[in-house]
Amino acid sequence: MSRRGEFGFIDFIRSNFPDPEGTTGIGDDCAVMPSGEGELLFSTDLLMEGVHFLRNESSPEDVGWKAAAVNLSDIAAMGGTPVATFLSIALPKDALGEWADRFIEGYTEISRQFDVPLLGGDTTSSLRDIAVNVGVLGRCPSGGRLMRNGAKVGETIYVTGPLGDSAGGLKAILMGIERTDDVTRLICRHKRPIPRIEAGRILMESGKAGAMMDISDGIGSDLRHIMKASGVGAVIDLERLPLSPELVSVCKEQGWDIYEMATSGGEDFELMFTAPAGLENELDIAVYPIGKIVPGNELSWRFSNEPMDRDFDGYKHF
């Protein structure tokens, strides 16, 4: 791969993302889009080399996938539909060319899978570390979006899929353990998270959910955001947390604390929401009840209905 300079790189991105009808994407001072109906949603995430990914551990394609995935997940967390993403990328000299092109391949792959155009961004240089910022614009019918402040006492707390797989995959990478099929699957869940856009939209349309968010820092941290925003407490029944067979078997083999992983490991990007009990029998998608919203402001943990003496508090950024 040759160094084609800034404009060559932009042309490459542009060739992967033709403008949808009625919009103007890359190439002018701003992207231009129709306003459309309902409400607008916007979210953004900044990923730094050395903090969010390591160049010798993550393939550029995986970094590209994940940079888009975490943002699409925020739109899913409101029950919204993504309209477009915007990508800013700062590249040190040694990441120009191959690294940058392969990053765009991964970014393009997930964007096509979820049919979301890239409509703009910024490319620039960096002295040392790669920096990637993704912004995503979404839409939701007026009043439909599911916020963190809608949880009500008595509601059941649900998640849309297994917890802890991503944390297990990350730990497997960091500890360099043997890559059995199970371990490989966990690593894939860590590197290629799936934003639950369809699940989010179904929950929004059901009209049943109170509060919703995506699980990025582990339920031990994320649930506290719903509690604080809604002014409620919560009880989680650990034995009800959905766990993948892969995680169960790897944790057994390695002697890892599976509940620590399922509650405090981040980046599962499943959705967590509150709704009346019994919703698991009413939807076309799988949802798993894991606890209950209660009065107060405490988060407590039970196992087989017995209170536990320990806390799980999720991942902190700094």
Among 1, 5, 205, 276, binds a second copy (CB under 8 A): 5
Q: How far is the CB of 56 from a second copy (least distance, A)?
A: 14
For residues 139 and 190, which CB has a smaller minimum distance to a second copy in the complex?
139
Give whichever of 89 and 232 is closer to a second copy, judged by the CB atom: 89
How far apart, in whole angstroms, are the C-alpha atoms of residue 205 and residue 195?
A: 17
Query: Do residues 159 and 220 lie in contact, with contact meaning Cβ atoms separated by under 8 Å?
Result: no
- How far CA 97 is from CA of 169, 190, 274, in Å, comes to 29, 26, 46
Residues in binding contact with a second copy, number by CB under 8 A:
71
Contact call for residue 174 and a second copy (CB under 8 A): no
3-state DSSP call for residue 281? helix
Which of 69, 104, 108, 139 lies at the binding interface for a second copy (CB under 8 A)? 139
Q: Residue 115 interacts with a second copy (CB under 8 A)?
A: no
Q: Provide the residue type at 3 as one letter.
A: R
Q: Is 312 helix (H, G, I), strand (E, B) or coil?
A: coil
Q: Which stretch binds a second copy (CB under 8 A): 71-79, 108-116, 161-169, 294-302?
A: 71-79
* Residue in 118, 119, 236, 262 binding a second copy, rule: CB under 8 A: 119
Quick one: which of 71, 67, 59 has its CA closest to 102?
59
The reply on whether position 133 binds a second copy by CB under 8 A is: yes
Distance CA 137, CA 86 (A): 8
Nearer to a second copy, 3 or 252 (CB): 3
Which residue stretch of 46-54, 103-111, 178-186, 255-263 sits at the interface with a second copy (rule: CB under 8 A)? 46-54
Sign of CA dihedral 172, 174, 175, 180: positive
155 part of the interface to a second copy, by CB under 8 A = no
